[in-house]
């Protein structure tokens, strides 16, 4: 007599477990017939306090231990890459581990768009931190609804530029886009009230650089109403020559400064005042450090190797601490997925020591990034007048022995240096 394959039974169990969880929390689940399965198993429409919303996702569900890989799980992309990345509805992957009796999730659309069409991944990585159960479903639903909302109105524009450049824009930020005659992209990004803006250029591999109107125009034309540039050059800000900008690009960036300045000033009877600097927790706003990425990477790697050598088992203790952290940022969870699902990267991290790694050349960037995510909670960069060990402040996931635990105050929104680039 014919037998039902075990894989089908395990797969249907995974669908049933996920469906039961979602419906228990009043969300609407529509199962896609197996005859029409082209990479998605479920449509999920979210509700809000009993009201049906317009926020819908598609879900690919997998069940069984065969999806384990590295420190996490992996779902093959196969022929679904284009539809998962470019469809009108975002696609999530969910794995059910029958041994742990747990569901784990990842935003497949987000991962694919982050990699881009020129370097598509072979699988969607899912982190063990991305648990989906009664205690985390509210977090999952909030994240999914925010992601769906990113494709409406102006937020769709910010989302497109953010996925292209790797930046995360706030809806209140000034963000403008320019394409030159060689199809090269420039993004102007400035917080309301700031005199300094960030430029993101495709020709610079989207590495963020700080510019002011004065630094930009220093060798060009006088700034209207300010009598031209004067005073010493600010070594922390980039110039048009540094960035090799054309005259058209310079004038475009200058026009961005003028237009956003007018928007910040607002009506005369209701001016928009300056905002506080969003740098390190102790930043006074008087100086902004510009430090090369390789300098920070060298310094952070050296500090990591010092701690690993002095504290055996630190890496595993940090991984466990991260697993127990129920409030990881969605961006961190999304980044962990593909890194933890790659055995080669995980092996490098598990073997990380001064004996195996001496310089950045001895470790893959992805392995260093995963080690940083495991070991470090935040990295803050302050003014260039400070020595390097004060300019770069590391907040460890597990504090150093004898160290006084401190967190940045809520009064100043701290923005850590992004070591992803």
CA-to-CA distance for 315 and 318, rounded, in angstroms? 5
pLDDT at residue 59, rounded to an integer? 96
CA-to-CA distance for 395 and 94, rounded, in angstroms? 32
pLDDT at residue 405, rounded to an integer? 53
- In the 8-state DSSP scheme, what is residue 419? -
Nearest by Cα to 341 from 28, 74, 44: 74
For 161-194, the DSSP string reads: HHHHH-----TTSEEEEEE-TTS-EEEEEE-TT-
Token pair, residue 53, equals 């919303």
Low-confidence ranges of the chain (pLDDT < 70): 1-9, 34-38, 151-153, 219-235, 264-294, 326, 382-385, 403-421
Task: Give pLDDT tens digits for 338-360.
Answer: 999 899 999 999 999 999 988 87
What values do phi and psi take at 169, rounded to 5?
A: -95, 145
- Asked whether the beta carbons of 55 and 99 are under 8 A apart, the reply is no
pLDDT at residue 23, rounded to an integer? 96
Cβ neighbors of 347 (< 8 A, separation 6 or more) are none
Token pair, residue 417, equals 């240096």
pLDDT at residue 140, rounded to an integer? 93
As a dihedral over the C-alpha atoms of residue 237, residue 242, residue 244, residue 247, rounded to 10 degrees, the angle is 50
Provide the greatest CA pair distance for the chain.
91
CB atoms under 10 Å from CB of 43, counted, come to: 15
CA-to-CA distance for 74 and 66, rounded, in angstroms? 9
pLDDT at residue 220, rounded to an integer? 52
Cβ neighbors of 172 (< 8 A, separation 6 or more) are 191, 192
pLDDT at residue 396, rounded to an integer? 93
Domains of the chain are 6-149 (3.40.1350.10), 172-265 (no CATH), 293-396 (no CATH)
pLDDT at residue 149, rounded to an integer? 81
User: Angle at CA 277, nearest 5°, toward 145 and 416?
Assistant: 60
Task: Give pLDDT tens digits for 229-260.
Answer: 444 455 578 888 889 998 889 989 988 998 88
CA-to-CA distance for 47 and 371, rounded, in angstroms? 38
For 44-86, the DSSP string reads: EEEEETTEEEEEEEEEEEEESGGGEETTEEEEE-GGGHHHHHH
Which regions of 155-300 does DSSP assign to beta strands (E)? Answer: 174-179, 185-190, 196-201, 209-212
Token pair, residue 90, equals 């975002």
Q: What percent of the chain has pLDDT over 90?
A: 39
pLDDT at residue 255, rounded to an integer? 87
Specify the pTM.
0.65
Residues written for the chain: 421
pLDDT at residue 412, rounded to an integer? 29
User: Angle at CA 66, nearest 5°, toward 336 and 339?
Assistant: 15
Nearest by Cα to 383 from 185, 225, 235, 165: 235
Nearest by Cα to 244 from 186, 194, 286, 285: 186
CA-to-CA distance for 13 and 121, rounded, in angstroms? 27
- Asked whether the beta carbons of 341 and 285 are under 8 A apart, the reply is no
pLDDT at residue 158, rounded to an integer? 82
- Asked whether the beta carbons of 304 and 398 are under 8 A apart, the reply is no
Cβ neighbors of 324 (< 8 A, separation 6 or more) are none
């Amino acid at each position: 007599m014919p037998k039902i394959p075990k894989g089908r039974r395990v797969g249907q169990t995974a669908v049933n477990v996920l469906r039961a969880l979602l419906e228990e929390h009043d969300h609407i689940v529509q199962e896609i017939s197996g005859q029409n399965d082209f990479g998605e198993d479920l449509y999920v429409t979210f509700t809000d306090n009993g009201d049906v919303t317009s926020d819908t996702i598609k879900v690919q569900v997998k069940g069984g231990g065969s999806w384990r890989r590295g420190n996490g799980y992996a779902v093959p992309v196969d022929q679904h890459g284009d539809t998962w990345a470019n469809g009108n509805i975002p696609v999530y992957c969910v794995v059910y581990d029958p041994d742990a009796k747990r569901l784990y999730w990842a935003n497949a659309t987000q991962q694919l768009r982050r990699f881009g069409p020129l370097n598509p991944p072979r699988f969607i990585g899912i982190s063990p931190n991305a648990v989906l159960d009664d205690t985390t479903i509210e977090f999952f639903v909030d994240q999914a609804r925010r992601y769906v909302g990113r494709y409406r109105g102006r937020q769709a524009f910010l989302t497109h530029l953010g996925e292209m450049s790797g930046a995360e824009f706030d809806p209140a930020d000034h963000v403008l886009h320019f394409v030159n005659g060689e199809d090269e992209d420039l993004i102007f990004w400035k917080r309301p009230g700031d005199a300094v803006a960030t430029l993101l250029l495709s020709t610079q591999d989207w590495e963020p650089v700080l510019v002011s109107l004065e630094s930009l125009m220093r060798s060009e034309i006088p700034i209207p109403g300010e009598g031209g540039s004067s005073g010493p050059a600010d070594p922390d800000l980039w110039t048009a020559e540094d960035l090799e900008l054309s005259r058209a690009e310079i004038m475009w960036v200058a026009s961005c400064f003028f237009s956003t300045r007018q928007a910040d000033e607002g009506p005369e009877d209701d001016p928009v005042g300056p905002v506080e600097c969003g740098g390190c927790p102790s930043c006074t706003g008087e100086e902004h450090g510009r430090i090369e990425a390789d300098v920070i990477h060298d310094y952070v790697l050296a500090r990591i190797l010092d701690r690993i050598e002095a504290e055996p088992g630190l890496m595993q203790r940090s991984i466990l601490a991260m697993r127990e952290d129920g409030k990881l940022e969605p961006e961190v969870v999304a980044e962990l997925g593909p890194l933890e699902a790659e055995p080669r990267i995980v092996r490098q991290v598990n073997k990380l020591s001064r004996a195996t790694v001496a310089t950045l050349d001895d470790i893959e960037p992805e392995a260093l990034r995963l080690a940083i995510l495991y070991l470090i909670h935040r990295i803050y960069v302050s003014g260039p007048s400070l020595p390097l060990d004060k300019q770069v402040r590391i907040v460890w996931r597990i504090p150093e022995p004898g160290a006084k635990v401190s967190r940045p105050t809520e009064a100043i929104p701290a923005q850590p240096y992004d070591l992803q680039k």
